[in-house]
Amino acid sequence: MPKAKSNTTKSRLNIQKTYKIYIGGKFPRTESGRYYKLKSADGDLLGNICLSSRKDFRNAVGAARGAFKGWSGKSAFNRSQILYRLGEMLEGRSAQFKEELVIQGATPKQAQAEVASSIDRLIYYAGWADKYQQVFSSVNPVASSHFNFTILEPTGVVAILAPEKSSLLGLVSVIAVTIAGGNTCVVLAAESAPLSAVTFSEVIHSSDVPGGVVNILTGRRKELLSQFTMHMDVNAIVYSDNDTETISKIKRDSTSNVKRAIIYKGMDWSSAAAESPYFISDVQETKTTWHPIGK
Amino acid sequence: MSATLTLDIPDFRNSPRVDEVGIEERVSRFTKRSIKTEAKNTGLRLILSMIDLTTLEGKDTEGKVRQLCYKARHLHDSMEGIPKVAAVCVYPSLVRIAKKELEGSGINVAAVATAFPSGQAPKAVKLADTKFAVKEGADEVDMVISRGKFLEGDYKFVFNEIGAVKEACGEAHLKVILETGELSTLDNIRRASDIALYAGADFIKTSTGKISPAATMQVTLVMLEAIRDYYYATGKMVGMKPAGGIAKSKLALHYLVMLKETLGNAWMTSKWFRFGASSLANDVLMQLAKQEYGNYQSMDYFSLD
């Protein structure tokens, strides 16, 4: 019997990954069929990255809206468990994340630190997911004979322009605070370093996060910005880079349906200030109830 | 006279067989037409004017019907030039309410009758149901055929029953629901269409909306072809109403493409084509608003169904 050819010899073809977007728990290519070339610091081609269109965005918002009821209706403890699971899955794939950060220009040491902080951040917010409500809610003293209390409720569908400078840690931070509080989101990955976001969507996919809770697009910020700011079914928009023109556009356009415009201008996501339950409360609405009581 | 009539009625056992693969291929073509800007705008408005706003629940109340009628009259008042829907479709017991609410609006009242949705009742009951609906003021009657008898091969029974209901309708238009989801094959759907057409239907309709699958493009194409062949044979136009499962305007536009390419422009009005749907109207309105204002819309700003 002739010996079967080993497929581990040098002549083996490289199987390269197709970087796709993540909508409603599925990995489609952009409906527009457009791509941009992502180059490494040395000028090597890293991949063809989807140039998502406004229709991809619309579909993603539709998926996020559809997932909102189920996700916000889960118990806080269950969301906490799922966030913890995200951390576990990220830990298991930390080597791949490090490698991708390095080919996108980070030093091995920086990459190592960023991946570790990202995992820790998920665990941190997993802890807060079933505790922020107790901390931020209140029973309010009022003069009339009412039992008056205030609680937080998720704001709804959150559109996130992921931090350009911190393509993994920044991304994980803004997603974690959003979903910890029961929101669903549509994220536009960092344009210059989208690989971590695409790979993170695979982590999300394998972590019991229901489809549609997190949707991740890649593409040109300039092209999609108006869609993010003007969509009537988006309830909040998060931005954390420095561009003042973008910030004023977000603030101006958000008036269309009174979206929350949440701006973390120039936030350093690796600093101690970037980790706090207040980030969760930023994407929450407060509801105050006046309940009549007898004296 | 009756002798000539019987000669004109074909033997339904010999209804044309349907090429399933051919239907699939043809349907997939309809979904690939590019309809943008002005054509899309016109299409969306046409769709709105063809909608039969429907509520057919056991839990329907007079209040629910009033609300639906209000919606039919005021689809989205903040936008100008929005056409009104064709009809409101309710159970016979609620026809009177709907008729009163829609007075002077030009919107018809359609009633489902003949023991909808199963159709499992004696003929006398079905006829009484129909007459009641008409007496209460229904402009259109949606009847269901006896699928059991049809599947047993008793085509004569089905044919005579449709004829009798047609007679009971008087002036009211008769739509015949085939409930295609229960007829299993496209051949059966074609045969049932032929029976309904020759028995005097003013419209043929796919489904009650209570059985899955409801309307599909494949089924609708088979029925449209039956209407076309009937028109060639007799010179009489008959309308078509796909119902159930058409919730998105994009899909509704595909149906319009299919209608135009199968039956032609003459059928492209609410007189000859209807959509039986409840949530479609809001999706079309959101698309029209998108065309007008430029940004994607939210259900939060449109009325509930």
10 Å CB burial of residue A214 (0-12, 13-18, 19+) is: buried
Judged by CB atoms closer than 8 Å, whether chains meet at A232 and B298 is answered as yes
**Chain A, nearest residue to B300 by Cα:** A233
> Dihedral angle at the C-alpha atoms of A123, A124, A126, A128, nearest 10 degrees?
170
- In angstroms, the CA A196 to CA A246 distance is 23
B142 is catalytic: yes
A177-191 pLDDT tens trace: 999 999 999 999 999
Interface test with A, best of B78, B295, B297, B302 (most A CBs within 10 A): B295
- In angstroms, the CA A40 to CA A43 distance is 5
pLDDT at B1 over 50: no
Residues of B in contact with A256 (CB under 8 A): 295
Two tokens, residue A17: 């990954």
Confidence at residue A294, expressed as pLDDT on a 0 to 100 scale: 82
Report the candidate in B158, B173, B88, B94 with the shortest Cα–Cα distance to residue B126: B158
Judged by CB atoms closer than 8 Å, whether chains meet at B296 and A256 is answered as no
CB A161 within 8 A of CB A51: no
Question: B175 to each of A200, B63, B178, how far by Cα in Å?
Answer: 54, 26, 10
- Between A71-75, B100-104, B222-226, B299-303, the lowest mean confidence (pLDDT) is in B299-303
What mean pLDDT do residues A130-141 have? 97
Q: Assign A221 to helix, strand or coil.
A: helix
pLDDT at A71 over 90: yes
- Minimum distance, in Å, between the CA of residue A250 and any CA atom of chain B: 15
- In angstroms, the CA A135 to CA A153 distance is 13
Which CATH class, in words, describes the domain spanning B35-294? alpha beta
Question: A20 to each of A54, A224, B101, how far by Cα in Å?
Answer: 16, 17, 52
Confidence at residue A43, expressed as pLDDT on a 0 to 100 scale: 86
Residues of A in contact with B283 (CB under 8 A): none
Mean pLDDT of chain A: 94
- In angstroms, the CA A179 to CA A157 distance is 10
The CATH classification number of A54-287 equals 3.40.605.10
- In angstroms, the CA B229 to CA A46 distance is 58
Catalytic one of B142, B194, B202, B283: B142
Residues of B in contact with A232 (CB under 8 A): 295-298, 300-301
Task: Give the helix ranges, DSSP H, for chain B.
Answer: 2-8, 20-30, 37-49, 62-73, 95-101, 123-136, 147-152, 155-169, 186-198, 217-234, 249-262, 280-293
Q: Where are the domains of chain A?
A: 54-287
Beta-bridge mates of residue B177: B144, B205
pLDDT at B121 over 60: yes
**Where does the pLDDT of residue A42 fall: very low under 50, low under 70, confident under 90, or very high at 90 and above?**
confident
Size of interface A-B (CB pairs under 8 A): 28
- In angstroms, the CA A9 to CA B3 distance is 85
Report the candidate in A100, A109, A277 with the shortest Cα–Cα distance to residue A189: A100
- In angstroms, the CA A192 to CA A106 distance is 13
Which residues, including other chains, have CB under 8 Å from residue B277's CB and lie 6 or more apart? B51, B52, B53, B54, B243, B244, B246, B247
Confidence at residue A9, expressed as pLDDT on a 0 to 100 scale: 59
Percentage of chain A lying above the pLDDT 70 cut: 97
Q: Please indicate if any CB of chain A lies within 8 Å of the CB of B70.
A: no
Residues of B in contact with A233 (CB under 8 A): 296-300
Which residues, including other chains, have CB under 8 Å from residue B144's CB and lie 6 or more apart? B112, B114, B115, B116, B117, B118, B119, B177, B179, B208
- Between A9-23, A96-110, A160-174, B126-140, the lowest mean confidence (pLDDT) is in A9-23
